């Protein structure tokens, strides 16, 4: 579990609080097999309306937010997108990757445990997941940066 938030997380949180009037809760603990994980932060818009994010998509009013720099998971930054898409693929058409799924979900708060904690706190399973990714480099892999964004916003 994160002892402190990274700068990207702080910027996203301040933007949601200051511009959209969201209430936030940081570093929400999530017990997972063999240890602890967390949700970087949870946010709910006080007036209950949707939030337009910079891509133009509307999300919320309940959000769980994960902020990552490509170097958080991979020091060279070369495999971040591949792991991100692998986690999304394991999600399939479901709301979460089941706890007994053979795919090891690396960092994306898509595990069943993350979903269950957010559902308990929000009191509903109607929430959006927002990934704020800094410095996602296109290194000539099978997917471009635009394809990563397209996959995560549809």
Report the percentage of the chain scoring pLDDT > 70.
77
For residue 80, is the peptide bond before it cis, meaning its omega torsion is within 30 degrees of 0? no
- Token pair 């337009």 is at which residue? 52
What burial class does residue 33 get, using C-beta atoms within 10 Å of its C-beta: 0-12 exposed, 13-18 middle, 19+ buried? exposed
Q: How confident is the model at residue 145 (pLDDT cuts 50, 70, 90)?
A: very low
Q: Select the more confidently predicted residue: 135 or 128.
A: 128
Query: What tens digit of pLDDT does each residue of 70-80 get?
Result: 666 666 666 77
Helix (H, G, I), strand (E, B) or coil at 22: strand
The domain segmentation of the chain, as residue ranges, is 7-153
The listed CATH number (3.40.50, 3.40.1000, 3.30.420, 3.40.1350) that belongs to domain 7-153: 3.40.1350
Please check whether residue 97 is in contact with residue 87, taking contact to mean a CB–CB distance below 8 angstroms.
yes
β 62-69/35-45 pair status: antiparallel
Helix (H, G, I), strand (E, B) or coil at 48: coil
d(CA 100, CA 111): 10
d(CA 93, CA 89): 9
Q: How confident is the model at residue 4 (pLDDT cuts 50, 70, 90)?
A: very low
Q: Cβ neighbours of residue 49 under 8 Å, at least 6 residues apart? A: 60, 61
Name which of 123, 129, 128 is nearest 108 in CA terms.
129
Query: Can you give the pTM of this predicted structure?
Result: 0.79
Query: What tens digit of pLDDT does each residue of 14-46 get?
Result: 999 999 999 999 889 999 887 888 998 999 999
């Amino acid at each position: 579990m994160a002892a402190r938030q990274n700068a990207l997380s702080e910027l996203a949180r301040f933007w949601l609080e200051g511009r959209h009037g969201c209430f936030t809760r940081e570093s929400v603990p999530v017990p997972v097999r063999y240890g602890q994980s967390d949700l970087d932060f949870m946010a709910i818009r006080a007036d209950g309306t949707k939030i337009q994010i910079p891509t133009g998509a509307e999300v919320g009013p309940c959000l769980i937010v994960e902020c990552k720099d490509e170097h958080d998971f991979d020091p060279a930054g070369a495999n971040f997108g591949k792991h991100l898409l692998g986690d999304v693929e394991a999600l399939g058409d479901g709301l979460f990757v089941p706890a007994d799924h053979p795919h090891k979900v690396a960092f994306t708060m898509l595990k069943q445990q993350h979903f269950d904690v957010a559902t308990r706190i929000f009191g509903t399973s109607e929430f959006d997941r927002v990934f704020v990714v800094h410095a996602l480099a296109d290194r000539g892999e099978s997917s471009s940066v635009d394809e990563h964004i397209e996959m995560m916003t549809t």
